[in-house]
Amino acid sequence: MKNLTVGVFHDETLANEIAKKGTVSDIRMFNRKTDDAIFTFLQPVDDKLAAKVQIMACIDAAIVSFASMTSEVGETILMLDAMGIKKGICIVPAGTDICQAIKLTKDTSLESFVVKQRNALEIMATLEKIDVVRDVALPTLVTIDHSFAVKGVGEVILGFVKRGVLKKHDKLMLLPAGKEIVVRSIQMHDKDFDSADAGSRVGLALKGASIDELKRGAVLCVPGSVKTGTRIKLSFEKSKFYAEKLTEGMLHVSVGMQTVPVKVSEITDSSLVIEAEKPLAYTGSDVFLLLDLNAKKLHLIGKGHAI
């Protein structure tokens, strides 16, 4: 069965119209199951910046509303482009000329998005046509977004299988905590399974770690397949829309579902070094977004990869 995770940006009611509400924190989650597919929709509460970029690290596709052309919508376009999200829908109000949306997404990854008027049935029909190639042959990797203790069960996490195939009784490393855990059970849509392929939204009962160690952004992985570090050198590309000069000092980095303060140093035209107080977990393909959370306008400074 196909799994598709979709970010919904700048439309407060659409996800509720097309799916059933699930977990709510600073990220609202909605679920919809059809005969052929399972859809998970993620939406940042009040367009919170950290939640927005963390959602972008998890999704296969995005829906962006162009109903109100604000600076926040413009930054969402730039962030999705930095993350390389190429599948999705730009929605415009009924009777609106689609040319503005096409113009605003030109020369970004959103050029390949479908532009449609806001119609829930047509939006779902478009999403049903989206296919994603999954990395089921790669080492298993699960990203955690929520965790809690359940009486009689123990520590439970909610998350996404980003690659590989997760199996019941797997022994995996929890990073950045550096602990071995055992997958005691796997649930999807309140049903027990023995395995879950890449792309799946899962609830896992785990043994071997505490709730404090199972925080958002932590990952479960095959030993040796994910790196950790507090000092990371990045190849770096500054956003052409960030007008300020980049100087050494304290900023924020978001990688996967981790958003943390970092000290930036050793800046060159194509690289820089970040230093975090606690270890970050990352892979060679992960995109690091450098952010100025105190900026009055554009918060996105640029993107990088670990080198």
269-294: average pLDDT: 96
183 and 236 co-located in one domain: no
36 and 87 co-located in one domain: yes
In a domain, 152, yes or no: yes
Name the pLDDT band for 44 (thresholds 50, 70, 90).
Answer: very high
Compare 101 and 293 and report the one with higher pLDDT. 293
Name the pLDDT band for 296 (thresholds 50, 70, 90).
Answer: confident
124 and 169 co-located in one domain: no
CA-based radius of gyration for the chain: 19
Give the domain range for residue 239: 227-306
Q: What is the pLDDT of residue 93?
A: 83
Domain boundary among 196, 221, 246: 221
147 and 115 co-located in one domain: no
Find the CATH number of the domain harbouring 22: 3.40.50.300
Which of 7, 33, 36, 5 is closest to 19 using CA atoms?
Answer: 33
200-214: average pLDDT: 96
Which of 160, 130, 132 is closest to 29 using CA atoms?
Answer: 160
Name the pLDDT band for 1 (thresholds 50, 70, 90).
Answer: confident
| Average pLDDT of the residues of the chain | 95
Q: What is the pLDDT of residue 168?
A: 97
List, for residues 57-83, the tens digit of each pLDDT value.
999 999 999 988 889 999 999 999 999
Between CA 153 and CA 185 the distance in angstroms is: 10
Q: What is the pLDDT of residue 255?
A: 98
Name the pLDDT band for 98 (thresholds 50, 70, 90).
Answer: confident
Between CA 216 and CA 166 the distance in angstroms is: 19
Distances (CA, A) of 75 to 29, 98, 110, 156: 22, 19, 13, 34
Token digits of residue 18:
């097309």
Q: What is the pLDDT of residue 101?
A: 82
Pairing of strands 195-197, 258-265: unpaired
Does this model's pTM top 0.85? yes
Which of 155, 217, 158 is closest to 184 using CA atoms?
Answer: 155
Domain boundary among 128, 163, 188: 128
95 and 210 co-located in one domain: no
In a domain, 120, yes or no: yes
In a domain, 185, yes or no: yes
Q: What is the pLDDT of residue 251?
A: 98
Number of domains in the chain: 3
236 and 212 co-located in one domain: no
Find the CATH number of the domain harbouring 162: 2.40.30.10
Between CA 262 and CA 231 the distance in angstroms is: 9
- Output the DSSP codes for 160-206: EEEESEEETT-EEEEETTTEEEEEEEEEETTEEESEEETT-EEEEEE
Name the pLDDT band for 128 (thresholds 50, 70, 90).
Answer: very high
114-143: average pLDDT: 94
109 and 203 co-located in one domain: no
Between CA 85 and CA 287 the distance in angstroms is: 11
81 and 149 co-located in one domain: no
In a domain, 133, yes or no: no
232-259: average pLDDT: 96
103 and 199 co-located in one domain: no
Three-state SS at 62: strand
Mark 192-231 as b/e (b = at least 16 C-beta within 10 Å).
eeeebebbbbbbbbbebbeeebbbbbbbbbbeebbbbeee
CB neighbour class for 145 (10 Å; exposed up to 12, middle 13-18, buried from 19): buried
97 and 184 co-located in one domain: no
166 and 256 co-located in one domain: no
Query: What is the DSSP secondary structure assignment for residue 221, as one 8-state letter?
Result: E
* Cβ neighbour number for residue 18 with a 10 Å cutoff: 19
Domain boundary among 128, 162, 185: 128
